[in-house]
Every structure is written in structure tokens, then in C-alpha cells.
Amino acid sequence: MTQPPPAGGWPDPASTGQPSSPPADPTLPVSSQPAVPPQPSGYDPYQPPVDPYAGMKSDPAAAPYPPAGYPPAQPAGYPPSPPGYGYPPPGYGYPQQKTNSMAIVALVLSLIGIGSCITAPVGAIMGHVAMRQIRETGEGGEGMAKAAIIVGWILTGLLALVIIGYAIAIAFAIANSSSTT
């Protein structure tokens, strides 16, 4: 006579057909350990506190910046690297280039020329002077100097057209007034 397979699983192929133990009751706990772990023992309230950030503190040997003397010397057989190449010094990036103050003044005078008319040509001329200084010294501000030149000469040209228009209007008014009397 054959026995039905034990509840909850397949029969053991090595068995002789008779189960060695009764089937497990599914309502009983699986292990004999209690469901809630016991409270930790051996806690000393006078023990010095443990630093929770101990693993996060930086080690000077593992610093994110290279040590002094970086970059390392070139390996044998390689030519020395040209100056100006390599990594920038530690900090916030490359040092900022100094802006030419004449370019700043030229741009301001050119823009003020919208309302005052006389400062626009002065700003354009100062823009040319600033461009020459920038080429000689290598300072920054080339874009501001170019903008001062462009804006200054455009406003100067518009001012010249307005003056010519007024001159024509005055000449026309004088010509018409003398012919009617």
C-alpha cells in the first residue's frame, strides 16, 4: 500500500515510503526562537559616546587634492611638458582675467550717449584706445570695447543725421519765410 505524499511538499526520493516524522503543522512557528529579540545586555551608560561620523572623516593621505609637488616628475624617456599645461591649481578653477578699465568706461559712455548725444563719440574713441591696450597687455574686456565702438559710432551717426535733418528743416523754413514776404 502506498502512502500519499506528505502535506506541503514532495516525498523524499531516498525514503522507503514511510515518513520519518509526522508532517509539520502549518499553524505552528517555524523555529523555536522567540518572535521578539531580547533587549541588548551589557550597555554601560557611562561609556564614552561613539562618533557616528568616524568613517566619514577625511584621511590626509586620501585628500581630494593632489599632494605638494604635483604633477609628478615626467617618466624617463618623455620630453618635459610645456608650461601652462596640466591641471589648474586647487581652488575654484582658473584665475579670472583682469578686465581693462578703459573698456568699461568706453561702454558706459557709449550707452549714456543715447540720452546725452555728446558722450557717444567719446565712448567710441575710448573703445579704440581700449582695444589697443587689450592687444598690448592681454587683459580681458575685448567684447566690451567692441560693443563700445559699435554703439558709439552708430549713435554718433544717428546724431549726425539728426543734426543734418534739423539744418535742412531750418534752411527750408528760412527759404519759405523770405519768399513769402
- Which bin fits 44, alpha (ψ -120 to 50), beta or left (φ > 0)? beta
Higher pLDDT, 119 or 71: 119
Higher-pLDDT residue of 36, 157: 157
Looking at the structure of the chain, the number of domains it has is: 1
- Domain assignment of residue 160, given as a range: 147-180
Is 173 a domain residue?
yes
Indicate the SS3 state at residue 49: coil
Q: Tell me whether residue 21 is in a domain.
A: no
Residue 179: left if φ>0, alpha if ψ -120 to 50, beta else—which one? alpha
Give the bridge partners for 99, in sequence order: 140
Indicate yes or no: pTM above 0.85: no
Output the DSSP codes for 134-159. HHHH--B-HHHHHHHHHHHHHHHHHH
Look at residue 101 and tell me if it is in a domain: no
Question: Is residue 172 in a domain?
Answer: yes
pLDDT beyond 80 at 18: no
Residue 171 lies in a domain: yes
| Residue 13 counted as domain residue | no
Q: Would 155 be classed as within a structural domain?
A: yes
Give residue 177's pLDDT band: very low, low, confident or very high (50, 70, 90): confident
For the chain, give the mean pLDDT. Answer: 76
pLDDT in tens, 121-176: 999 999 999 999 999 999 999 999 999 999 999 999 999 999 999 999 999 999 99
What distance in Å separates the CA atoms of residue 6 and residue 19, rounded to the nearest whole number? 8
